[in-house]
Chains A and B, each alone.
Chain A
Amino acid sequence: MGWYNKRLAKSLWVFHASGSPCNNCDIEILDLITPRYDIERLGIKLVGSVRHADVLLVTGIFNQKIAPKIKKIYDQAPKPIFVVAIGTCVSSGCCFKDSYNITEKPESIIPIDMFVPGCPPKPEAMIEAVAKLMGVLNG
């Protein structure tokens, strides 16, 4: 299993699912594949279909309309899949935490492995999160 986890750590393919974000985190995520940060050198690739993904990035608050869809996307992904929550919205609700339409807790919808707080988090913070995930996989 150790050998396989090392392969997995070197080729994490990322699918990006927006909850209901303000789009700020999504733009910061796209920064990661620009020449300045270029996470392809760590083997990370943004894929278009969740069937190819190893990491599910979620952004935004999960309101009552989007929560079942996020759950569906999580169920469609091949396991093992790691869920990384980007932004303060997922971790604490940010400025939307008193809204009438948000669900109780994101963890009650899908299991979340890692939170990256920030509004939006800097690309460096996201790379650090990825490095920590790789560290866990490498043991």
Chain B
Amino acid sequence: MIAWILFHLFVFPGMLFTGVMGLLVGWYDRKLSARFQFRKGPPLFQNFNDFFKLLGKETIIVKEAVKSVFIIAPLAAFAVLTLIATIIGLALFYQRGFGGDIFVVMYLTMTFSVMVILGGSATGNVYSSIGAGREMKLLLADELAFILILLVPIIKSGYQIQFDQILAVQQTSGPFIGSASGIIAFIIGMLCIQAKMTLAPFNIPEAETEIVEGPFMEYSGPLLAFWKLNHYMMYVIFPFLLILLFWGGFQLQGIGILWAVLKYVLIVTVMIIIKNTNPRIRIDTALNFFWRYASPVAFIGVILAVLGV
């Protein structure tokens, strides 16, 4: 039993699977972005090369930095993402839930942002502090809409909070994306994960041309490698979460495998298209967008779900 738990955590839906798949999807992101700009783009194993190269570089710990937080933040963020990946993967591939799944995932995604804020503000660098502050504001902006869209599958599945129950309801009565409230929640969810992954137009915390990668500016070597890996792991976690909650999960037999791959690739491609066709917006515009438009629409989705539409 313990061996299986360790296997799930470290190998299959957890660390190894999510890491390797995340780096490959990161290559897809870079390649597609390059094609958008009429460039050729990097080779297939580019992200693996980057990761192993960064592991071998010197780690510089800044003199002004709070040493313990500076070192722990990327590793804790990695652990948090591994845990989310395991919970979501167990529900998707093994139809297993453990109790309070959806709330645990909600809090853990928030914890990841908190780790970015801690890591950024521990460096003592001005740009990092600006980035950490912006990350905090972005968290405040997207969190309300994210919580509201998570309520929709809970209500539609008859107030179940376990992933396996939500999946079972979807397999008997069709995926939630087919209903009005489901499609509203799915679209708002796409925008929320865009903000949670800090992709353009919401790449405000790590604006590369403006505040030089914000919270990650002072990181070097293995710690930076873990920040990069965390970013690519989210390319796996958040699309899986959307598929799980709204799109009926995966049926991994026969033609179902093809559908599973197509669902995932479609969501990732839409994310990359949004990323490449939008400029970065200001933080007040992002707050305005999420609080004035996205959250009320998500709330309408919740009301529709209560009405059973």
- State yes or no: do A and B come from one complex: yes
Within 8 A of A (CB), among B43-81: 43, 46, 49-50, 52-53, 56-60
Stretch at the interface among B13-21, B207-215, B260-268, B270-278: B207-215
Chain A window 13-33, contacts with chain B (Cβ cutoff 8 Å), 1 for yes, 0 for no: 100000000000000000000
Query: Which residues of chain B have C-beta atoms less than 8 A from A38's C-beta?
Result: 34, 39-41
Identify which of A47-55, A83-91, A117-125 touches chain B.
A47-55
Q: Which residue of B lies closest to A48 (CB)?
A: B212
Judged by a CB distance under 8 angstroms, whether A10 is at the interface is yes
Task: Tell me whether chain B's interface is mostly helix, strand or loop, or mixed.
Answer: loop
CB-CB contacts below 8 Å: B211-232 with A: 212-213, 217-221, 224
Q: Which residue of B lies closest to A41 (CB)?
A: B40
Shortest Cβ distance from A35 into chain B, in angstroms? 4
What residues of chain A lie closer than 8 Å to B60, measured between beta carbons? 51, 76, 78
User: Given known contacts A78-B59, A79-B58, is B41 in contact with A49 (CB within 8 Å)?
Assistant: no
- Within 8 Å of chain A (Cβ to Cβ): is B134? no
* A4→B40 contact, CB < 8 A: no
Encode contact with A along B98-110: 1 for CB under 8 Å, 0 otherwise: 0000000000000
CA distance A47 to B216 in the complex (A): 12
Which B residues fall within an 8 A CB radius of A? 30, 34, 37-43, 46, 49-50, 52-53, 56-60, 208-209, 212-213, 217-221, 224
Please list 16 pairs of residues, one from A and one from B, whose beta carbons are closer than 8 Å in the complex, sorted by A's number.
Answer: A4-B52, A4-B56, A7-B53, A8-B56, A43-B42, A43-B43, A43-B49, A48-B212, A49-B217, A51-B219, A51-B220, A52-B219, A54-B57, A78-B221, A79-B58, A80-B58
Given contacts A7-B53, A51-B218, A79-B58, 17 further A-B contacts (CB under 8 A): A10-B49, A10-B53, A11-B50, A35-B37, A35-B39, A38-B34, A40-B39, A41-B40, A47-B213, A48-B212, A49-B213, A49-B218, A51-B224, A52-B213, A52-B220, A52-B224, A80-B57
